[in-house]
Amino acid sequence: MYNTLMTLTEYRTTKLPTYYFNEIEEFVRTSGKYVSVSEFLRLAIEEKLDNEKKQKRNDVQFLLFKDMVFTKTRLNHIHDAICETARVDNRSILKDNFEQVTENSIDTSMYRFLAKFLLNFMKFHPFTDGNKRTALTAVDVFLRLNNKKLEMESKPGKKTEDEKFIWQASIQQKSSNVVEEFLEKHAKPYLSSNDFETEMKRCLEENRQLLENLSE
C-alpha cells in the first residue's frame, strides 16, 4: 500500500516497539515521498539492528535472516522431516497461512521473538499432529544458526520438568515472558555449521528422545 504523507497509526501493531514506532512515524509524516509501509518498516528495523550490531550487541541480527527458518516452506519442511523420523498420527495440514504466525511474533529481541513464535504456533495449530515438535524444532534450529542450541532434559518413560513446561506452553498456560526466560536459560553456546539442513538434522537426532516424549 502506498500513500503520501501518511502516518502509520492505523497500521500499528505489537510488532514494533514504541520507541521505534515514534521515530518511524515522525519520519513518514514529514516525508513528501511515496512510502511502502511494509518495506519501510523492514528497512527501518534493519537499520536499527545494524546500528546496534555496531555497538557489539550479540542478538541484533537475527531478524535479518529469520526467513532461513520461519517461513511456510521451511516450517513445512521441518514438519515433513519430523513425520519421517518420528511417530505422527496424521501429517495433514489444517491451516495453510503460516505467515501470520511469524508476522504476529516479530520482535527486536531474539528470545522474545522466539517465545512469541512458540506460543503463537502451538495456539494456531496448523497441523493435525506434530505442532509442538515442529515449533520447538524450528526454535532450536534457529538458535543453532545463531550459535546457540537448546539443551533440555529428556528421559525414556518419564516426563521431565522441561517436557512438562512445553506441554503447559502448548495449552497456553505459560506467558510469553516466562517462555522467553525458559528459552534463554536453556540456550547454550554452540558452533553452528550455518546451514539449515545440517542444523535441522542435528537437532532431530540430538533431540530424538525429547521429540518422542512430546508425541505422546
Same domain, 35 and 89: no
pTM above 0.75, yes or no: no
Same domain, 12 and 82: no
Cell numbers standing for residue 63: 531478524
Same domain, 21 and 97: no
Q: Nearest to residue 114, comparing CAs of 83, 162, 149, 81? A: 149
CA gap 200, 82 in Å, rounded: 10
Same domain, 191 and 117: yes
Same domain, 204 and 123: yes
Same domain, 34 and 97: no
Same domain, 45 and 128: no
Same domain, 6 and 84: no
Fill in the amino acid letter for 28.
V
Fill in the amino acid letter for 190.
Y
Could you give the angle at which helices 72-85 and 131-145 cross, rounded to 10 degrees?
Answer: 110
Same domain, 169 and 134: yes
Q: What is the pLDDT of residue 109?
A: 85
Q: Domain range holding 175?
A: 62-214
Same domain, 31 and 78: no
Instruction: Name the β-bridge partners of 54.
Output: none
Same domain, 88 and 186: yes
Q: How far is CA 95 from the centre of its chain?
A: 18
Q: From first to last of its 216 residues, what are the pLDDT tens digits of the chain?
A: 333 333 444 444 444 455 556 666 666 667 666 555 556 666 666 666 566 556 655 554 565 567 788 889 999 999 999 999 888 888 899 998 888 898 889 887 889 999 999 999 999 999 999 999 999 999 999 999 889 999 999 999 889 999 999 999 999 999 999 999 999 999 999 999 988 999 999 999 999 999 999 987
The total number of structural domains that make up the chain: 2
CA gap 181, 167 in Å, rounded: 16
Rg (CA), the chain: 19
Q: Would you call 101 helix, strand, or coil by DSSP?
A: helix
Q: Would you call 150 helix, strand, or coil by DSSP?
A: strand
Q: What is the pLDDT of residue 99?
A: 85
Cell numbers standing for residue 121: 504456533
Fill in the amino acid letter for 44.
A
Q: What is the pLDDT of residue 14?
A: 41
